[in-house]
């Protein structure tokens, strides 16, 4: 087992998640929903992955976490992967940061 590389490590990210860096929250900006409050809902969008791409016997489903404005049920586009923003434009909305 000596000198073996770890398996299942996606691009150096444990569990597919980027490494967490300490963030000073006083340097961040709040995000407001369509009613001007700071509350959002969590949800997922699902993407189907071909069994040939996934390397499995059958197609796979990949969940992508998103935030939803609870007042209009639109996906917060700022949190979408850039590759999906155009495809989901009718179901999403950009938010304005609060200062």
Residue 87 lies in a domain: yes
Range of the domain at 87: 28-98
Give the sign of the dihedral formed by CA 9, CA 81, CA 34, CA 43. negative
Tokens of 32: 């407001």
Report field, pTM of the whole predicted structure over 0.75: no
Detail the DSSP E strand segments found in 1-99: 30-31, 41-49, 60-68, 75-76, 92-93, 97-98
Residue 46 lies in a domain: yes
Residue 20 lies in a domain: no
Q: What is the number of domains present in the chain?
A: 1
pLDDT band at 8 (very low <50, low <70, confident <90, very high): very low
- Tell me what pLDDT residue 14 has: 46
């Amino acid at each position: 087992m000596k000198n073996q590389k770890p398996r299942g490590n996606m691009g150096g990210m444990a569990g597919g998640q980027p490494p967490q860096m300490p963030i000073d929250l006083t340097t961040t900006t709040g995000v407001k929903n369509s009613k001007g409050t700071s509350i959002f809902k969590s949800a997922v969008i699902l993407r189907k992955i071909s069994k040939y791409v996934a390397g499995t016997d059958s197609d796979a489903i990949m969940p992508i976490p998103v935030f939803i404005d609870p007042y209009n049920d639109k996906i917060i586009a700022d949190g979408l992967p850039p590759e999906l923003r155009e495809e989901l434009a009718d179901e999403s909305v950009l938010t304005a940061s609060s200062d």
